[in-house]
Amino acid sequence: MVGASADLPAARGRDGSLPSRLLAAAIFLPCLWLIVRRGDYHFVLLVDIILVTGVLEFYGLLRNKGFRPVRAVGVACVLILSWYAYFRAGVYSNFLLALALLFLMTFELLRGSVEEAVVRIASTIFGVLYVGWLGSHFILLRELPRLAGLDYEMGARFVFLAFLLTWSCDTGAYAIGRLFGRHSLFPSVSPKKSREGALGGILFAVIAGWVAQVTFADYLTLPMAVGLAVVAAVAGITGDLVESLMKRDSQLKDSGSFIPGHGGTLDRFDSLFFSIPLIYYFHKFFVI
Domain map of the chain by residue range?
2-286
Q: What is the pLDDT of residue 127?
A: 96
Mean pLDDT confidence for 225-237: 97
Give per-residue pLDDT as tens, 133-150.
999 999 999 999 998 889
Q: What is the pLDDT of residue 99?
A: 87
Around 238, how many Cα atoms within 13 Å sit in the side-chain half-sphere?
11
* Rounded distance between C-alpha atoms, residue 236 and residue 164, angstroms: 12
Give per-residue pLDDT as tens, 96-128.
888 888 999 999 899 878 888 999 999 999 999
Give per-residue pLDDT as tens, 259-284.
555 578 998 899 999 999 999 999 99
CB atoms within 10 A of CB 13: 18
Check: CB of residue 144 under 8 Å from CB of residue 283.
yes
Around 145, how many Cα atoms within 13 Å sit in the side-chain half-sphere?
14
Q: What is the pLDDT of residue 8?
A: 39
Give per-residue pLDDT as tens, 5-25.
444 333 333 444 556 666 777
DSSP per position, 231-284: HHHHHHHHHHHHHHHHHHHHT-S-S--SBTTTBSHHHHHHHHHHHHHHHHHHHH
Q: Is the pLDDT of residue 72 over 60?
A: yes
Mean pLDDT confidence for 218-222: 96
* Rounded distance between C-alpha atoms, residue 171 and residue 197, angstroms: 9
Mean pLDDT across the chain, nearest whole number? 88
* Rounded distance between C-alpha atoms, residue 221 and residue 263, angstroms: 37
Q: What is the pLDDT of residue 264?
A: 82
Q: What is the pLDDT of residue 187?
A: 87
